Structure 1
Amino acid sequence: MTPEARIAAAIPILDAVLGGQAAEQALTRWARGSRFAGSRDRAAVRDHVYDALRCRRSFAALGGAETGRGLMIGLLRAGGVAPESLFTGAGYGPEPLTAEEGALPPDLTTLPRGVRLDCPDWLLPDFDAALGDSADEVLARMRQRAPVCLRANARQGREAAARALAAEGIETILADGASFALEVVANAQKIKTSTAYSEGLVELQDLSPQCAVEALPLQDGMRVLDYCAGGGGKTLAMAARADLALTAHDAIPARMKDLPTRAARAGIAVTQADTGALAKMAPFDLVLTDVPCSGTGTWRRGPEAKWTLTPDRLADLLTLQADILDRAAAHVAPGGWLIYMTCSLLSPENRGQIDRFLARNHGFALRHERLFTPLEGGDGFYAAHLSRV
């Protein structure tokens, strides 16, 4: 496909997303109906779509409309490419610019802050409260693509994993902050089909949660419960830290369907337990709750969440998080630890949630907390350590 054809292909996909369809679903449908598109074409169209979703407000301003066509015009202008050079109507390219579309774009520096930073206006005060003077820099960073990070299997070490990946053409560098973190700098698309991945040398995991897990007060022999395990990424990461008796639980057990395969690949034993079984297994020395959240820290990876989050949805999440914390706290042994994590940058979901929990539960104390931001190399992420006193 030519560059013009790739731009043209992204336009109806974006229109479908703007109409309410999930981006992955829209991309999959396009790929199935476009057998002529090679792997590089599919990757390029995917990049166009996700770049436009990350920068939806500013690209719409540069392109003159919040449509697939307007976003692609804005994408080109933002990248310093004259849109008329690709919007020619020739071959499979999009139709030429109208007179209105060809007019000089606005100066982004004069536009409202939320447009320039591609952030919903109603969330700006929350980002300011949480991030202070770094709010604009963090929001600007979240307009860019996220790095791809791996966690190397502790048994082999990350240097061995890096060599194995390099032998398959996947280039990595050692990432700062976590002992087993590797940042992929070339050929990330090969990871899931690589031998290093299939044999358990590496797992996909962002740098921030790796750092957060590395800071946990884990010791050999602990009984540990991952209360909101999902796919089990943090379960496996904790196993790399110490010799633990690990139990994984999720309110929707189907989310853990891949955990047995991942654990076997990594050489780790994990017990899965439904809600009814936990009461008989408790108490645990450490209970980890990585709760459902707004995902504001992961906007680079899931930019649709920027535009679908609403005040009502946030209020519902705050209620759910509080309920999970209270339920998980009941499984913590005397002197044990309750760990609270989110991939959010918003104070109401982070320290605000902890303060409300402590007001309800006087038998716990906050011992440690940290907010990671994209300025540190990974996603936005929050972790709080509470001890049962």
Structure 2
Amino acid sequence: MTPAARTQAAIDLVDAILDAARAGGAAGDQVAKRFFAARRYAGSKDRRAIRTLAYDAVRRFGEPPVSARSAILAMADADPLLAATFDGAPYGPAPIEPGEPRAEAGPAPRWLVEAFAAAGLGDTELVALLDRAPLDIRVNRLTADRDTVLAEIGGEPAADLPDAIRLPADAAIDQNGVLNDGRGEVQDIGSQIVSLATCAEPGGFAIDLCAGGGGKTLAIAAQMNGQGRILATDTDRPRLSRLAPRAARAGVTIAEPRLIDPGKEIAMLADVAGQADWVMVDAPCSGTGTWRRNPEARWRLTPDRLARVVATQARLLDVAADLTAPAGTITYVVCSLLDDEGAGQVTAFLDRRPDWRALPLALPRGRVHGPGMRLTPAHDSTDGFFVARLGRA
């Protein structure tokens, strides 16, 4: 492909990501996968160049641009080589016309910038949220040891986490045996850290209330040394269906998936009410802490959507309280840095549940924030998380 054709392809890809974000469709990585599947004529170097330019544009513009062309044009104003590709060549973008609109660069929509500021997060934190994320692996201690896995895949061991390995963002290990045979799982170091906040031990009973595909379920199973019971529940059948094969690969036999209907958690979990030693609430959230991986998520989030997930989080915390044994604990986690979903959400729970209190946390990374701890890319080199551990007073 010519440089001009690559530029036009990047414009087309950003437009597809924009359309999906506006319609609440597929995530950006899925849009890109389908985009390139329909363009098999593009070689590996072409795909890499197109993806790089497209995602540079997605990261650079916090407000959804009026069009992808307006975003790439704004970048071309500072890049003569990119501007030169707007030459009207076949398969390339049309020449630049005087007065064409340009997208305005910025880290996030204005209302979100204000929300981050209210949570005590400034420009440095916002900029770090848009860096490319490294690739983190959690070594499955039930079937492997880190030194052996390191010798096989390389990377850097995390000094403060005995099971964590970090690789570059572009490391290609999708077909590596470590992931295929259950000796390792792709899991951000921040996610590994907040899983530790459960303080789960062998022989107990844990409930992962929003298990999804089971990443934290498997991490908790490793903490429990494969002994005890984990009930992994979710309302999303396709996501939950991934747990069983992952658990089988990892040698985890204590995890029991259970599909539940939204809003009917109490009735469908009545048989375990008041019994759990540990309840993990990895609640649905805005995902503001994962922009390094999903920068187009800034274009999806609206105040109304945020209000809906905040209401869901509050309901799930109350469900978790009913599932917890008298001496049990709740670990509340969101991959968000907004106080409405983190510190404010837990404070509201404690206000309406005066028989509960926040418990101290001793985690290898993070800073105290309100009734819990916060991890950020700038400070902790992880995705953004808020985590709190709660117990009855």
Distance 1:288 1:175, change over 3 A: same
Higher RCO, Cα 8 Å, sep 6+: 2
Shift of 1:248: 0.5
Residue of structure 2 equivalent to 1:261: 245
- Preserved contact between residue 57 and residue 66 of structure 1 (Cα < 8 Å): no
Structure 1 residues 25 and 259, CA gap change in structure 2 (3 angstroms): closer
Maintained 8 Å contact 1:177/1:211: no
Distance 2:245 2:138 in 1: 17
Displacement of 1:24 after TM fit?
4.1
**CA distance in 1 between partners of 2:51 and 2:77 (Å):** 19
For 1:39-59, what per-residue CA distance to the aligned partner results, in whole angstroms no more than 9, with x for missing partners? 34334323332222221248x
Show the counterpart of 2:257: 272
Q: 1:124, CA displacement in angstroms? A: 2.1
- RMSD of aligned residue pairs (Cα, Å): 2.5
Alignment of 1:324-339 (within 5 A): 324-339=316-331
Between the aligned partners of 1:92 and 1:252, the Cα distance in structure 2 is: 41
2:264 — aligned with what? none
The DSSP-based 3-state class of the residue aligned with 1:347 is coil
Q: Does 1:384 align with 2:355?
A: no
TM-score by length of 2: 0.85
Structure 2 counterpart of 1:111 = none
1:271 Cα deviation after fit: 1.2
- Higher share of residues assigned helix: 1
- The verdict on how the C-alpha distance between 1:200 and 1:44 changes in structure 2, with shifts beyond 3 A counting, is farther
Question: Partners in 1 of 2:86 and 2:157 — Cα distance?
Answer: 42
Matches within 5 A, 1:120-135: 120-132=109-121, 135=122
Corresponding residue to 2:272 among 278, 281, 298: 281
SS of 1:358's equivalent?
A: helix
| Counterpart in the other structure of 2:10 | 10
CA deviation string 1:12-66 (max 9, x = no partner): 22223333364345434432331211334334323332222221248x9xxxx74
TM-aligned CA deviation for residue 277 of structure 1:
5.2
Q: Which amino acid aligns with 1:181?
A: A
Instruction: Output the CA distance in 2 between the equivalents of 1:201 and 1:159.
Output: 12
Identity of aligned residues (%): 38
1:200 is matched with which residue?
182
Name the counterpart of 2:92.
93
Show the counterpart of 2:205.
Answer: 223
Deviation at 1:145, TM superposition (A): 1.6
Amino acid in the other structure paired with 1:129: A
Bigger mean CA offset, 178-187 vs 297-306: 178-187
Aligned residue number for residue 109 of structure 1: none
Q: Tell me how far apart the structure 2 counterparts of residues 179 and 75 of structure 1 sit (CA, whole Å).
A: 42
Q: Is the 8 A contact 2:135 2:169 kept in 1?
A: no
**1:142, distance to aligned residue in structure 2 (A):** 1.9
Q: Deviations over 1:333-364 (max 9, x none)?
A: 01111110000000111111111111111221
Q: Residues 115-148 of structure 1: CA distance to partner in whole angstroms, max 9, x if unpaired?
A: 654211112222112134xx21011112322222
Q: Does 1:70 align with 2:70?
A: yes
- Matched with 2:39 is 34
Query: Which residue number in structure 2 is paired with residue 149 of structure 1?
Result: 136
Q: What is the match of residue 48 of structure 1? A: 53
- Which amino acid letter does the alignment assign opposite residue 242 of structure 1? M
Distance 1:131 1:374 in 2: 14
Letter in 2 for 1:85: A
Cα distance in 2 between the residues matched to 1:12 and 1:32:
14
Residue 112 of structure 1: aligned partner: none
Looking at structure 2, the residues matched to 301 and 374 of structure 1 have their Cα atoms a distance apart, in angstroms, of: 12
Cα distance 1:267–1:88, how it changes in 2: closer, same or farther (>3 A)? Answer: same
Contact 2:62 2:299 in 1 (8 A): no
Q: Distance in 2 between matches of 1:77 and 1:334?
A: 63
Going from structure 1 to structure 2, the CA distance change for 1:367 and 1:25 (only over 3 Å counts) comes to closer
Query: Deviation of residue 273 (structure 1)?
Result: 2.6
Q: Which residue of structure 1 lines up, in the alignment, with residue 164 of structure 2?
A: 181
Would you say 1:160 and 2:143 are equivalent positions? no
The question of whether the paired residues in 2 share the 8 Å contact of 1:150 and 1:182 is answered with yes
Q: Deviations over 1:197-221 (max 9, x none)?
A: 1011211111111111223322221
Contact 2:61-2:106 within 8 A present in 1 as well: no
User: What letter matches 1:131 in structure 2?
Assistant: G
Deviation at 1:85, TM superposition (A): 3.0
Mapped to 2, the partners of 1:139 and 1:290 lie a distance apart of 23
Structure 2 equivalent of residue 110 of structure 1: none
Change (3 A) 1:14 1:274: closer
Could you tell me whether the CA contact under 8 Å between 1:54 and 1:142 is conserved in 2? no
Query: Across the two proteins, how many residue pairs are aligned to each other?
Result: 365
Q: Distance in 2 between matches of 1:76 and 1:160?
A: 47
Distance in 2 between residues matched to 1:130 and 1:140, nearest whole Å: 15
Q: Distance in 2 between matches of 1:186 and 1:351?
A: 30
Question: Aligned pair in 2 of structure 1 residues 232, 334: CA closer, same or farther (>3 Å)?
Answer: same
How far does residue 76 in structure 1 lie from its aligned partner after superposition?
4.7
336-345 vs 22-31, which moves further: 22-31
Instruction: Return 322-331 or 135-144, whichever deviates more.
Output: 135-144
Q: Secondary structure at 1:131's aligned position in 2?
A: coil
Q: Which residue among 369, 372, 375 is the counterpart of 2:375?
A: 372
The one-letter amino acid of 2:109's match is P
Q: Quickly say closer, same or farther: Cα 1:75–1:386, change in 2 above 3 A.
A: same
Contact 2:134 2:169 in 1 (8 A): no
Per-residue CA distance 1:230-264 (angstroms, 9 max, x = gap) = 00000111122223421101123332111011111
Unpaired segments of 5 or more residues in structure 2?
261-266, 361-371
Q: 1:100 to 1:117 in 2, by over 3 A?
A: closer
Q: CA offset at residue 81 of structure 1?
A: 5.0
